[in-house]
Amino acid sequence: MSRCMIIEKSAVVRKVAKRILGADDRFIVEAETAGEALSMCEAQMPDTIIVEADPADMELVDFVRALRAMEGEVEPVVIVAMIEMDLVRMTKAKRAGADDYLLKPFDRAQLLSRFQQVTAAAA
């Protein structure tokens, strides 16, 4: 069973994403902040991480770099959820180690399609 982490300030967005992704036999964990997520990743690294582009407690680039600096067997796929296409932020996140992007708000079909594309490409 694959593990997915959703990092998002909004409890509603986390709940919707969890409901959509959890339907396909994935174990979903949630984090409200990037710091909380990093602590959880130290305990058990998920296979995929969906992180909002503007985490509450740290810069996105700092989060991605800290995540990529962690040692372990699992190298998670990192998807950044953005409200708008921001080329500067996207480029910085990609250079730090993010794998792909997803636009919010998303619906079931968009989230599943992007999730499957990115995870298949990483496999």
Q: What is the pLDDT of residues 67-117, one digit of tens each?
A: 999 998 999 999 999 999 889 999 999 999 999 999 999 999 999 998 888
Classified by CATH at the fold level, domain 3-122 comes out as Rossmann fold (3.40.50)
Strand order in the sheet with 77-82: 27-31, 3-7, 48-52, 77-82, 100-103
Residue indicated by tokens 């710091």: 35
Cα separation, 36 vs 33, in Å, equals 5
C-alpha triplet 80, 121, 43: angle, nearest 5°: 55
Instruction: Please report the pLDDT score of residue 123 as a whole number.
Output: 73
Delimit the domains of the chain by residue range.
Answer: 3-122
Check whether 48 has a pLDDT greater than 90: yes
Residue 17, pLDDT > 80, answer: yes
Is the pTM here over 0.85, yes or no? yes
Q: Which candidate, 3, 1, 8, 27, places its Cα nearest to that of 105?
A: 8
Q: CA 103, 107, 60 angle in degrees (round to 5)?
A: 30
For 14, 73, 90, 116, the CA distances from 58, given in Å and listed in that order, are: 18, 25, 16, 28
